[in-house]
Amino acid sequence: MPSSIHLLQPHLLSLLRIVSSLVLFSYGTQKILHFPAAASVPPMGSLSWIAGLIELILGFLVLVGFQTRIAAFVLSGLMAFAYFIGHAGKSFYPAQNGGVAAILFCFVFLYLVAAGAGPLSVDGLMKRNRAVA
């Protein structure tokens, strides 16, 4: 690989953030906004509905890259909670208990807590504006 590949790292970080949060955001839109149509919609106020509300709101914040570290921290915890409440009791193995997505989301968002949003974000734009001023 060329030695200049490291120059892509900040933009790939932004891409990871955007794609991951867009997928999670879509779970929130399905639970809360019923889009795209869901086979079952959680009752308002239920644990699943509250998780959907968090996915919708914080998923959007991470998607646009605003207050990314805080939102990603909460989402990482939500996904860990989802894994242990909804999946871990079924089997030890994620491929058997259906918890693969929850584990991956948990650790991607945990990484974003440490790495930040990347340059293609509201946080990045605000940081650049502070540096210029």
Structure confidence by residue, pLDDT tens digits, 51-80: 999 999 999 999 999 999 999 999 999 999
Structure confidence by residue, pLDDT tens digits, 77-108: 999 999 999 999 999 899 999 999 999 999 99
Looking at residue 52, what is its pLDDT?
Answer: 97
Q: Two tokens at 70?
A: 């805080």
Indicate the burial class of 103 (C-beta count within 10 angstroms; 0-12, 13-18, 19 or more): middle
Q: Which positions ≥6 away from 43 have C-beta within 8 Å?
A: 49
Task: Report whether pLDDT(33) > 70.
Answer: yes
Q: Residue 5: CA atoms inside 13 Å, Cβ hemisphere, count?
A: 3
Task: Report whether pLDDT(37) > 90.
Answer: no
Looking at residue 1, what is its pLDDT?
Answer: 62
